[in-house]
A = this chain, B = another copy of it.
């Protein structure tokens, strides 16, 4: 058989070369002057379209052997993804990064999400501001509760969410004719436009593009009494689907699959592989509906996968056993996909990256590329496609453009304007049940403070909202860190919000605002990561809030938690105020920054606190920066303070200006542990520019205060003068 195939192939190659000469000749005599030729993919497509009157050229099998025609340059490609929960949301971001890395077309993402995924992804895409990416959300919870799919018994780990792929023709806009449907656990290693281009190979009858299954599941011989749903041969995998929505709607798809599912459910108790079982049952009955896709578009990496046949053969330019590779590689001279071996990797084992596979390392590296890839680098414009930026991004770009690079504080101003990509609740999070006096600890940190988290969990048994300033790669290290810590893994009431690094200065107040905005309890304890609260603080604060009837008071109140510090690495944490006072008297503890910056906490009046039995009121004074408990709707931190200096001071001024009463709690305390000085404080100390810029921002802050609070703000300005020598 080999000679025949070889002869044909050689013949084809020769013929092609001949053609090439003719076509080359045709183009040869062109005018050397610059001409605006409209020659190109676009014309190629129009020519194709005229052949069968279909704008995408659904041609017969013989032409489908050609390289897919890429879609026109600025054509919008539609992608649908079903996503629920925290972990899948993380997966979606990695998948989208891989798509964005190779894409050259505008994209419209249709995301069918539960409430958790929606809030994560909405924030993420809003702050990501990638040009030429539109997002629309669809409510998965409504679907889950509604009549469309909830009746289907199902045993797959994806739950009812997997089944939602079946109803996309009903829930996506009627105007949408085509969509690429992706599972959250796939990674692209090529331009999604090449996949989209395969729509052009659909015959008139074909409505669903799928890759064959690369496992023996549907052969039904995996174990004794293994009864899979019916399928054509090995069946098809639904991790990557091309859907002709228009034709599906016309052909009564909804009735078709329901009927089929109901019939099978008479003998089988449930779907095992969710939507995939139903798709395969329908295809078994109506094989004319499916357009088989080249296997490289869904290389399935499970433990006993047959995928190796696909990607090794693709790399070897062979035609695979079932001839399906032919779509991709029978004219490889013309076709770049033949050389890459793999276009989409599908981690379709519950083990995901830990799957055993001879080439797992290779595929893992491709996947890790996008896990660790700096997402901000994907904010790349598409040359020559119109109106790409969301309006906020447009404004931001203008504001950035107006900054003067020669100005000494340029770096600061740039950092102030920077919108960081934010991934809220990066890890699974179960908020505590609503309780009226509950308090969330709010703090922010970067990688070098991770080791504080376990101790913090031991000291604070209540909810926490923490902003982490990380690179994409560090976020993966953080994931590993939490995964290997039993203490952290056990705590589902700690919400971790990743703010992605960008720029040289630590955006401390932006981080605090992210953590604050995500706190879900009525009250928040605004702390810093280097502080450990008294073991009893969480209970004591809730009790105090209740006793003081804060929620019913007209007066706004900020409860002050007095701050101390130890200079010892190893340190026996006091179990009570009495123990703390003993340590203080012994010199093992100090009031916070007593030596370096006493005015920061002096108004707390530690002498009075020693004796106090009841909460007492204190007055604001210049440079006061206590740690406070306030209602969640308190003023936000001023994001102009980046890096070191004045970031909390300004916030306390804001509280005072809004007439918060400062009330020191007699049994509350929190202790700062030693650490090396931060890079920012080192820079502050060594750079006069840094100090000058901070001074400039203080002044601008005071001008803003005067504007907002009028004469009442005068006292802050007056108080400012003597303290200018800070540091």
Listed in ascending order, the chain A residues whose CB lies under 8 Å from chain B are 1-2, 4-6, 8-17, 19-44, 47-48, 51, 61-67, 69-70, 73, 104, 191, 193, 311-312, 315-323, 326, 329-334, 336, 338-341, 359, 362, 365-366, 368-369, 372-374, 377-381, 383-384, 447-452, 454, 471, 473, 480-481, 484-485, 487, 504, 530, 567-570, 595-596, 673-679, 682, 686
Contact = CB atoms under 8 A, between A and B. Distances in A.
Given A332-B41, A383-B341, A30 B5 contact: yes
A435 to B, nearest CB: 31
A88 to B, nearest CB: 24
A35 B9 CA distance: 12
Give the 3 A-B CB pairs with smallest separation, nearest first: A9-B39, A24-B62, A40-B317
Contacts of A377: 365-366, 368-369, 372
Nearest to A474: B471
Given A62-B21, A334-B334, A384-B316, A339 B448 contact: no
Contacts of A10: 39, 43, 47
Given A1-B35, A471-B473, A372 B374 contact: yes
Contact of A362 (B32, B333, B381, B569): B381
Contact of A333 (B17, B44, B677): B44
Q: Give the interface centre of A16, A22, A378 by most chain B CB atoms within 10 Å.
A: A16
A140 to B, nearest CB: 33
Contact of A32 (B322, B334, B485): B322
Contacts of A485: 686
Contacts of A378: 365
B319 A37 contact: yes
Contacts of A447: 447-448
Contacts of A369: 373-374, 377
B37 A5 contact: yes
A40 B451 contact: no
Given A368-B377, A381-B362, A383-B312, A19 B16 contact: yes
B104 A61 contact: no
B15 A23 contact: yes
A130 to B, nearest CB: 11
15 contacts: A5-B30, A12-B26, A15-B22, A15-B23, A16-B19, A30-B323, A30-B326, A33-B323, A34-B321, A39-B319, A69-B333, A104-B340, A312-B384, A447-B447, A454-B682
Contacts of A21: 62-63
A677 B451 contact: yes
A485 B682 CA distance: 11
A319 to B, nearest CB: 5
Nearest to A44: B333
Contacts of A22: 15
Contacts of A330: 27, 30, 39
Contacts of A452: 676
Contacts of A4: 31
Assembly stoichiometry (copies):
2
B16 A12 contact: no
A341 B331 CA distance: 24
Contacts of A9: 27, 37-40, 43
Contacts of A191: 339
A480 B73 CA distance: 38
Nearest to A342: B383
Contacts of A1: 31, 33, 35
A686 B489 CA distance: 14
Contacts of A27: 8-9, 12, 62, 65, 326, 330-331
Q: Give the interface centre of A326, A333, A377 by most chain B CB atoms within 10 Å.
A: A333
Contacts of A44: 13, 16-17, 332-333
A30 B40 CA distance: 31
A2 B567 CA distance: 79
B570 A567 contact: no
A359 to B, nearest CB: 7
A485 B473 CA distance: 26
Contacts of A65: 23-24, 27-28
A359 B334 contact: no
Nearest to A367: B377
A459 to B, nearest CB: 15
Contacts of A317: 37, 39-42, 73
Given A39-B5, A43-B9, A448-B447, A26 B15 contact: yes
B384 A365 contact: no
Contact of A320 (B19, B34, B67): B34
A680 to B, nearest CB: 9
Contact of A675 (B315, B329, B473, B674): B674
A587 to B, nearest CB: 9
Given A447-B447, A451-B678, A485-B686, 15 more contacts: A5-B30, A9-B40, A13-B47, A16-B23, A21-B62, A23-B66, A24-B64, A28-B62, A40-B317, A40-B338, A67-B334, A316-B383, A334-B334, A451-B676, A481-B679
A17 B362 contact: no
Nearest to A40: B317
A24 B12 CA distance: 8
A417 to B, nearest CB: 15
A34 B310 CA distance: 12
A32 B323 CA distance: 5
A380 B368 contact: no
Q: Give the interface centre of A22, A66, A315 by most chain B CB atoms within 10 Å.
A: A66
Given A27-B65, A39-B13, A380-B365, A568 B569 contact: no
B104 A451 contact: no
A66 to B, nearest CB: 5
Contacts of A530: 676
B41 A6 contact: no
B5 A679 contact: no
Nearest to A67: B334
Nearest to A568: B567
Contacts of A381: 359, 362
Given A5-B37, A9-B38, A66 B30 contact: no
